[in-house]
Structure 1
């Protein structure tokens, strides 16, 4: 088709007329493309301009050597040229190569003398009887609970409640601040029972009087522990030994004091029925208590005389400030209604009640931070601060201008027990998994003669807990489980349905499983604990881990126990016989305070213990940083006139592996490699295992990105070698895409300091946010602001909640 264009094409004398190259559509190509084609032809060997070869610009394809030409005989395999071998698709890297250089720890020249326990019961002449405690309680503590001496905080607190110097002192609220593991629970339970026990002499008082004391704990585990201690105290004998029931002049007590627990484990109908009967002393978590105050009309708390807020710093961290305010308003409202009913004559209660006595609030905390002081200012009236001192008299707080202002104190040092042995080991990232196994093996070997020894391992997130628990419990060195898994894959098509059903049954059994055993850790049962587990499994795991071997018990307790947990177990739990605490993942929130709370699960009540911290090479500055925080105030400065020597002793990774795996010379390297390969084979065995490992890896990365800004110089994702970190999760290569279920979040590469993708799909982020909010809302940690539900604090799973995922992505680059 002639489109009216006139082309002026110059003619080269050497090459002849230039040929025009056109497409089938009839349009002319641009001149630059024509020149490139002409140049490519002229560069070809044996090319003669103007020859017929110009009509065939593409050379003939080279025939494959293994395909015979027509009419020829096929070449034998020996005559065929060797093809280049393809590189392996997956390279198994060695544990002991390409690791960053780690300086060997310098041993201390001075042998450190064992320190005197700082939280042990006092050895002086003071006894519970001297502190004014009821004789029945003193006898019960000595005979049934084997407690003869009070601790320093108990000696300071009990006289304030049992022998008040004046009526004014009896009306004041109390702030109890003491070191972890020092016996704060008894310091408020004993005064409550001491106050309510005389009411047992009145025949007209029974359970129908309602709830007279409420104790609020931040977690279900701590609430269950307080409830267990309370039940043990309430089993006291109501008559002294040898006293006859009908003896003249003897005081008769009725057994009406019972305790109850509200933690969300039971149905509301069951809890309402128990509250309707009456629970004089109630232990509860904040969300469940506020729910019943707002929705259960039969919940009788009009005469409540005691309110205890245990672990106040943890309550504030979990965002329960608004919930606490709602609880206090609900208690005040119920009291006014009950008093108004008495004045109007609308009640049929027998006997009188001292309505002039106000409710007394006790706030317990190991630290006095700014948020805790804020809570004290809104809940306490003229608070009296009680500290665990060696003096017999508690020091009163400075006078405040207003009665409702909290007592102000100087910045308090928060240190672990002095008898605790603190150690750390710098471990290259890809050796973390075998280092953990070696450390557990060496600690278990040291406690062979001590039955019931327990070890707690702290991890950063719930997915990591589930992965390590399954990995240790499922992997095997002898290959029996691997053979069994391979045999199940060879089933015929007719057995597929049965195989699917059995797989589902195994999955259900695995989810409901409480304890796991590992051939690498003989004689030890492995438990797990985190906030996403169902309440029955959480309580069963805690009960199984806390079990003490006894010949009288029907179910024999394990010789040793290991608990894999998140920071949900770092506050208030008094677990018996905890020999060591291992911080496999350093705290992401709370800094030095959270570290002290974690290591405080051992070395309790004057007993010894060890605390190990596994530190990455890029985190080596953390050791000096946390030592400075514990030696002095929050700025790390040493106090004047006070000699504080808190150090984390260093251990080399070579010594840890040698003690854990044994062998001569470098034989421990071969054994560690075999253990690592067995873990990697377990991950490759099933698709579910690989998904579990990838999910643990990505959740750990997200948790790592939540370190506060003042710790970013120590903890930063860009400092991590992503490929080496993946090997710590038994992955042979880092996941190319970080996913949360089916939603894509960001991408990584194998290189050091890889960055995530710059953008994510908006609907994926929204779905992930919604799932996070559902988890937090189920725990009662959302509050209203501007008509929108927002997260009021970080959750107990150590994974950022209520924060947009793109904010976490930006955390990788900060």
Structure 2
């Protein structure tokens, strides 16, 4: 009886979700796909943007990270594709490979019931395989600007002349990453732009290619969500790794992303944690694309509870189960802080973020507080309790440094140092020592 009641309640919730998405102007099939992804109701950005895009308006959308921006442009594009099916209907540009792959997966999930085909064009993957995917004439192309331009130049039969929709996701970062020349090449043949974020640089694009755009803003710029608990730890620089390990032992079992500033720091931290027995994987720009995807998939699937990453993982990626974000390095750009901590507390969930602040980071930290207009709480930690771990952490640091030197000197054949680091980190996750316990 209880099971039947639970099923009835579940069916009622599903029906209510479908009805809410249909009210935006999309068909039942797409509404059912959205509900099937666990979307209980349209988010605020979806409620405002979807009807406007369906009317054919150019839209500039601004919303907090984790607010459903991808659905806000994917749903109306798929609806219009269903009304007038054609290949190369939409192009989505993304600043990172991982985000491009994720957007493609969401298009395919939402469009599964209507047979949508998507192709991903990103670096680090064989161009011939991507050319074959383009030859199948996909409805939606998602890619990074440089690789899209490569295919426009070199892949026979690939043209965007009939394109109906262009999306610039994370537009501010696309332009900050010096993709302006590539984007300009693409824009010359494309009339539409939906931008998930907006900066003064994007305003230049607005003047160049948008026709009477509607600005949809559902949150103040550079704000964080109310369900996110944000804290800091003021730590001596020489004991920074010790405080990191202390935090990880305090929050044992939590799904955690550790953000660092450089690839080398990511490598070193991943190896150090490996030597302490923590199950974690690194992801950074020097890793091969298959390795990056494998690390991300292991973290998403819960096979590894810790992801050590540069800002390549800070934007757009939707990993619902992240409990904790730890800023090992204070980001130089305050906006990157907002996007880093936005990896947790997504879609109404709660989350926690802690930033390690050394004596050299005070000015950067103060700029972040000014940007988000709030004072962070101090995370309580007694230095005496932290330094109990010093001996084990120092030994793990020493071994990690030695391992990095060894792998950097073993660059032979097709094997790279960063691949060796990935292998070592994986080996440690399976067979390393136990994580240190607090005493």
- Fold conserved between structures, TM > 0.5: yes
- Picking from 526, 537, 542, the partner of 2:280 is 526
- Measured in 2, the distance between the counterparts of 1:586 and 1:197 equals 45
- Measured in 1, the distance between the counterparts of 2:84 and 2:200 equals 39
2:4 is aligned with 1:287: no
Correspondences of 1:274-673 after superposition (within 5 Å): 274-329=133-188, 331=189, 359-365=191-197, 368-388=198-218, 413-444=221-252, 447=253, 453-473=254-274, 475=275, 518-519=276-277, 521=278, 525-548=279-302, 557-558=303-304, 561-588=305-332, 590=333, 592-631=334-373, 646-654=374-382, 658=385, 669=387, 671-673=388-390
Deviation at 1:683, TM superposition (A): 5.5
Deviation at 1:387, TM superposition (A): 1.4
Q: Which has the higher contact order (CA 8 A, sep 6+)?
A: 2
2:21 is aligned with 1:128: yes
Deviation at 1:472, TM superposition (A): 2.0
- Measured in 1, the distance between the counterparts of 2:271 and 2:363 equals 32
TM-score of the two chains, using structure 2 as the length reference:
0.84
Q: Deviations over 1:429-467 (max 9, x none)?
A: 1111111011011112xx4xxxxx420111110011111
- Measured in 2, the distance between the counterparts of 1:124 and 1:175 equals 26
Query: Is the contact made by 1:527 and 1:562 (CA closer than 8 Å) also made in structure 2?
Result: yes
* Larger proportion of helix: 2
SS of alignment partner, residue 355 of structure 2: strand
SS of alignment partner, residue 196 of structure 2: strand
Correspondences of 1:220-239 after superposition (within 5 Å): 220-236=97-113
User: Structure 1 pair 211/622, CA: closer, same or farther in 2 (3 Å)?
Assistant: closer
Query: Is the contact made by 1:227 and 1:260 (CA closer than 8 Å) also made in structure 2?
Result: yes
- Measured in 2, the distance between the counterparts of 1:276 and 1:618 equals 53
Partner residue of 2:80?
A: 195
SS of alignment partner, residue 416 of structure 1: coil
Deviation at 1:543, TM superposition (A): 0.9
Partner residue of 1:16?
A: none
- Measured in 1, the distance between the counterparts of 2:364 and 2:133 equals 50
2:69 is aligned with 1:184: yes
- Unaligned 5+ runs, structure 2: 1-15, 410-439
Deviation at 1:526, TM superposition (A): 0.5
- Measured in 2, the distance between the counterparts of 1:157 and 1:472 equals 43
Deviation at 1:126, TM superposition (A): 8.4
- Measured in 1, the distance between the counterparts of 2:46 and 2:176 equals 26
User: Structure 1 pair 677/529, CA: closer, same or farther in 2 (3 Å)?
Assistant: closer
Query: Is the contact made by 1:427 and 1:653 (CA closer than 8 Å) also made in structure 2?
Result: no
- Measured in 1, the distance between the counterparts of 2:34 and 2:51 equals 17
- Measured in 1, the distance between the counterparts of 2:125 and 2:366 equals 46
Query: Is the contact made by 1:459 and 1:583 (CA closer than 8 Å) also made in structure 2?
Result: yes
Partner residue of 2:46?
A: 154
Deviation at 1:360, TM superposition (A): 3.0
SS of alignment partner, residue 601 of structure 1: coil
Q: Deviations over 1:60-118 (max 9, x none)?
A: xxxxxxxxxxxxxxxxxxxxxxxxxxxxxxxxxxxxxxxxxxxxxxxxxxxxxxxxxxx
- Unaligned 5+ runs, structure 1: 1-122, 165-169, 201-208, 239-254, 333-358, 390-411, 448-452, 476-517, 549-556, 632-645, 659-667, 696-740, 742-814
SS of alignment partner, residue 88 of structure 2: coil
When the two structures are aligned, how many residues end up with a matched partner? 394
Query: Is the contact made by 1:261 and 1:284 (CA closer than 8 Å) also made in structure 2?
Result: yes
- Measured in 2, the distance between the counterparts of 1:576 and 1:469 equals 22
Deviation at 1:235, TM superposition (A): 1.3
SS of alignment partner, residue 273 of structure 1: helix
User: Structure 1 pair 127/682, CA: closer, same or farther in 2 (3 Å)?
Assistant: same
- Picking from 35, 58, 62, the partner of 1:173 is 58
SS of alignment partner, residue 348 of structure 2: coil
- Picking from 257, 266, 271, the partner of 2:125 is 266
2:21 is aligned with 1:140: no
Which has the larger Rg?
1
Deviation at 1:653, TM superposition (A): 3.9
- Measured in 2, the distance between the counterparts of 1:610 and 1:280 equals 39
User: Structure 1 pair 621/265, CA: closer, same or farther in 2 (3 Å)?
Assistant: closer
User: Structure 1 pair 362/689, CA: closer, same or farther in 2 (3 Å)?
Assistant: closer
Partner residue of 2:7?
A: none
Deviation at 1:577, TM superposition (A): 0.6
